[in-house]
Structure 1
Amino acid sequence: MDERSDLDRSYRKIGLRLIPFLFVCYLFNYIDRVNVGFAKLRMLDDLGMSEVVYGLAAGIFFIGYLAFGVPSNLILQRVGARRWIAVMMVVWGVFSVGLMFVRTPIEFYVLRFLTGAAEAGFFPGIVFYLTRWFPPERHGRVMTVFMSAIPMSGVLGGPVSGWILAHFREGQGGLLDWQWLYLLQGAPTVLLGVLVWFVLSDGIETAPWLTPDERTALTDALRRGDEAQGEAPVSLRIALLEGGLWTLGLIYFCIQSGVYAINFWLPTIISASGETEPLMIGLMSAVPYAAAVVFMLLLGRSGDRRNERRWHLIVPMAVGAIGLLLAGGAPNAVGLSLFGMTLAAAGALSALPMFWPIANRYLSASTAAGGLALINSIGQIAGFLSPYMVGWIKQASGTTSLALFVLAAALLIGIALVLRATARPGMR
C-alpha cells in the first residue's frame, strides 16, 4: 500500500511538472494549425482567393505533415525530446507568423506545407514521450488531459480569433485584421519553444527534479508495464507486414476526417446558418469545443477506471456521426446546426484520446516511435482530404450538407474497423 501511494505521489509530481506545460504547447500547436478557419473569413476577400484555394491550402499542410512525421519522430528518439521539440516549435512558430505576409495562392500553399513539415513530429513525439513516463494503465487519463488542449483551443481560440478580427477590422499598424491574427497566435509558439529547453527532461533517468528513489521506483513500474504489455510485433517491419498498423491508421483517418472538418469549417458553417458578426461566430464556435472538453475528460477517466478501450472509442465515434448528420440536415437553422456540431465535436474529438491507448497496447516499446508516427501520419491524410473535399462540395453545391453526410459515413466505417481490429487480443 505504501509503495503504491509513493508511486501515485510520484506520478502526480510528474503530471504537474509535464502535463500543464505540454497542454499549453499543444494548445498553441492546434491554434496555429486551424486558425486559418477564422482568417478565411477576411483573408479570401482581401486577397481574391476562392473556397477551393482555401480548402487546398488548409489541407496541403498535411502533405508536409505526412512526409515528415516518421523521420521527425525517429530523430526525436535519437537526439532527445527536449532538443527536438524545442527546434520544432520555434520553426513552425516562425512559419505560422509568416502566413501574415501571404499575397498569392502559391505563397499560401508553400507556407502551409512548410508549417506542416515543421510540426509533423510534435504530436506523435509527445505521445511517445509520455509512454516513457507513464505505464499503460495510466495512458487514458494522461492522454485525455493532454489532448483536451484540442477542444480547449476551440474554446479559447474561437472567441479570441473573433475578437482579433473585430478589434483590428479597420487595420492597425499597417496590418489587416487577419494578419494580426497570424502574428498574435503564432508568436507565443516561438517563446514556448525556447521554454521547452528549460522545462522538459528527456526521461525519468535524466529528470533532476526526481529523487533517486523515485527514479528507481518509476523505472521499475514502467518496466513492469512494458513487460505486461508484451513485445508483440518485435520490429516495425513485422508490424507493417502483419497489418495491424495499417488498420489503426485507417481508424485514425476516419476519426480525423470528422475532426478536421469541424476545425476548419465550423466558423463557415455557423456563418452560413445566419450569423455574420465575427465576435459572435467566435463565441458560438466555443460551445461545441466546451462540450468536447467535458465529454473527453469524463470518458478518459471512465476508460482507465474500467480498463476498457473498445466501447470507449466506439461510443464517441457514433455520437460524432449523429452530430454531423444533424448539422448536415439543418444547414439554415442556427440552433439545430450548432447542436449538431456540438455533438459532432464532443464525439469526434473525444475519440482521439480514446484511440491512442489501443494503439499503445498494440505497439511494443521497440516499435513505438516509428509505429506511432506512422499511424498518426496515415490519420493526418484526412487533414488534407477532408477540408479540400468540404471546400469542393461547398463550391459545387453551395452548401456543406453533403460533405457532412460523407464525413458521418467515414466515422461509421471507422466504427466497423474498430470492431474488427479489437478482435485482436493485443488491441482490446
Structure 2
Amino acid sequence: MLPFLMLCYFCAYLDRVNVSFAALTMNRDLGLSASAYGFGAGLFFLGYFAFEVPSNLILARVGARVWIARIMVTWALVSGATAFVTGEVSFYLVRFALGLAEAGFFPGIILYLTLWFPAAERARIVGIFMVAVPLSAAVGAPLSGLILTATDGAYGLAGWQWLYLIEAAPSLVLGLCTLVVLTDRPAEAPWLTPDERGALVARIAADAPAPAPGPVPSLAEALLQPRLLGLAGVYFGLSTGLYAIGLWLPQIVSGFGLDPLATSLVSALPYLLAAAGMVPWTRHSDATGERAWHVALPTVFAGLALAAASRAEGPVFAVLCLSLASLGVFAALPTFWTLPTVLLSGRAAAGGIALVNAVGGLGGFFGPSLMGWIRDATGRFDHALAAVAALLVVTGLAAARIGRGIAPPRRDGTGG
C-alpha cells in the first residue's frame, strides 16, 4: 500500500511543478513575464486553499478509495489541458483549476495513514511517503528536460506542450488503479489475516486522544484552536520555502548559461540530497519521540543555507547552498505532519489536517509570487532568496515554540 501511495504522490508532485521546467520555453512562447509566471504558478495554491477542507471532509465521509481516485483522475485531465493555454489568462485559469482538482489529496493521504500506522511510528512512515516529493523532482527534472528537447515540434506541438500531456498520463492510469488497490480501512484489507486486522485496529484505537472534560467542541471550535492555527502558520513558512525553491530552481540554474537538458540535470541534485536525508531524520524523531526540534532545526538550517545562496559568487557554491536549503525543508516536513495528527481525531482530524495544509499551502502562492515580483523589480534573484531565507528562520523558531507540549503517544500507547 505504501509504495503505491508514494507512486501516486510522485505523479501528483510532478504534475504540480512540471510548470517550472515547461517555463524554460513556455514563458517565451506565451510572452509571460517573471511576475506573470510566478503569479500563475502560485495560483494553484489558491484553488487548493478554496477546496481543501471541503474535499477532505468529503473523503472522510465517502472513503479514501473513491475520493482519491476522483482527485487523481480530475487533476490528470486538468494538468494535460495546460498544454493548450494560449496566454496569461488561460494560464491563470488552468493553474487555479489544477489546485481545485488536487485539493484534498495530500491531507487525505495523511489522514489515511493515521488509520494504518500508530502515532509513535508516523514520522518515519510519513517520511517514507514524502520521499516521493524529492524523488519526483529528481527524476522529473531530467525527464522533463529530455521531453522538452526530444519532442519539440512533433506533430505541430512545442516541447512544453508534450511535457504536460506525457506527464499527465500516469496520474490518469493510477487514479483508476486506486479503485482496485486501496481499501478504506484496515478492517477491510484482504491481505491481512483476521488476527492481524484486529490487532492493528486495536493498536490504532489506543492512539486516539482521551476525550477532554466538558462539552464536546464543535468542528469549528476544533479548527480554531490557537495551536492548530499556529501550526498552519509554520506550514505557511515551510511551503513558502519549498515552492520558492521548487518553482524557480530551473530558471535560477538556467541563468548560469545552461541549456534545458543540462539545467534539468543540475536541478535534480538538490532533490537527491533531500531524498537521502529525509528518512534518517524522521527515524531519529521516532526513536527519540521528539518532534518540535526535529522541525525547527532543519527549518532554521534551510533559512541559513538559502541566505548563503543569496550571497553566492559562483554557480557551484550557489547550487550547493540551494541543495542544503532543500535538504532542510524536506527534512522538516514529514515530522511536522505528526503534530496536527496528535491534536485531533475523527472528523476534526479530517478538517484540521486539511485546514493546516490549506492555510499553510498559501505559502506555495506567496513564495513563487514574491520571487517573481522581486526578480522583475530588481533583475536579480539574490534579494528574493534572502527574503525567503529570513522567513524560514522565523518559521523554525516558531516551530520550536508552538511544537513544545505536542507530544506523541509512546510506543506502549500511553501519552508522551
| TM-score where L is the length of structure 2 | 0.95
Are the aligned partners of 1:234 and 1:364 in contact in 2 as well (CA < 8 Å)? no
User: Mean alpha-carbon deviation: is it higher for 290-299 or for 358-367?
Assistant: 358-367
CA distance in 1, matches of 2:290, 2:360: 23
CA distance in 2, matches of 1:231, 1:375: 22
Match of 1:8 in 2: none
1:388 equivalent to 2:364? Answer no
**CA 1:241–1:116: 2 relative to 1, 3 Å:** closer
Select the residue among 320, 330, 343 that pairs with 1:339.
Answer: 320
State the SS of the aligned residue for 1:74.
Answer: helix
Displacement after TM superposition at 1:365 (Å): 3.3
> Gaps (5+ residues) in structure 1?
1-17
Displacement after TM superposition at 1:366 (Å): 4.3
The percentage of aligned residue pairs carrying the same residue is 44
Match of 1:180 in 2: 162
Match of 1:6 in 2: none
Are the aligned partners of 1:234 and 1:366 in contact in 2 as well (CA < 8 Å)? no
1:405 equivalent to 2:386? Answer yes
Select the residue among 224, 240, 262 that pairs with 1:280.
Answer: 262
Select the residue among 348, 352, 358 that pairs with 2:339.
Answer: 358
Residue 147 of structure 1 aligns with an amino acid whose one-letter code is M
Are the aligned partners of 2:223 and 2:348 in contact in 1 as well (CA < 8 Å)? no
CA distance in 1, matches of 2:184, 2:93: 32
Select the residue among 147, 156, 171 that pairs with 1:189.
Answer: 171
Question: Alpha-carbon deviations, 1:58-103, whole Å to 9, x = none?
Answer: 0111111000000000000111100000011000100000000010
Select the residue among 112, 117, 133 that pairs with 2:95.
Answer: 112
Give the superposed CA RMSD.
Answer: 1.4
CA distance in 1, matches of 2:189, 2:207: 20
Select the residue among 202, 210, 222 that pairs with 1:220.
Answer: 202
Displacement after TM superposition at 1:360 (Å): 1.4
1:374 equivalent to 2:349? Answer no
Are the aligned partners of 1:271 and 1:281 in contact in 2 as well (CA < 8 Å)? yes
Match of 1:4 in 2: none
CA distance in 1, matches of 2:84, 2:6: 29
1:246 equivalent to 2:229? Answer yes
Displacement after TM superposition at 1:230 (Å): 3.4
1:76 equivalent to 2:56? Answer no
State the SS of the aligned residue for 2:346.
Answer: coil
Displacement after TM superposition at 1:50 (Å): 1.2
Count residues with an aligned counterpart. Answer: 406
**CA 1:215–1:234: 2 relative to 1, 3 Å:** farther
CA distance in 2, matches of 1:216, 1:204: 9
Match of 1:296 in 2: 278
Question: Alpha-carbon deviations, 1:185-236, whole Å to 9, x = none?
Answer: 111111110000010000111112221111111111111122xx43458543
CA distance in 1, matches of 2:292, 2:47: 31
CA distance in 2, matches of 1:328, 1:25: 34
Are the aligned partners of 2:240 and 2:365 in contact in 1 as well (CA < 8 Å)? no
Select the residue among 4, 8, 19 that pairs with 1:36.
Answer: 19
Residue 140 of structure 1 aligns with an amino acid whose one-letter code is A
CA distance in 1, matches of 2:39, 2:12: 20
Alignment of structure 1 residues 8-27 onto 2, 5 Å: 18-27=1-10
Displacement after TM superposition at 1:141 (Å): 0.9
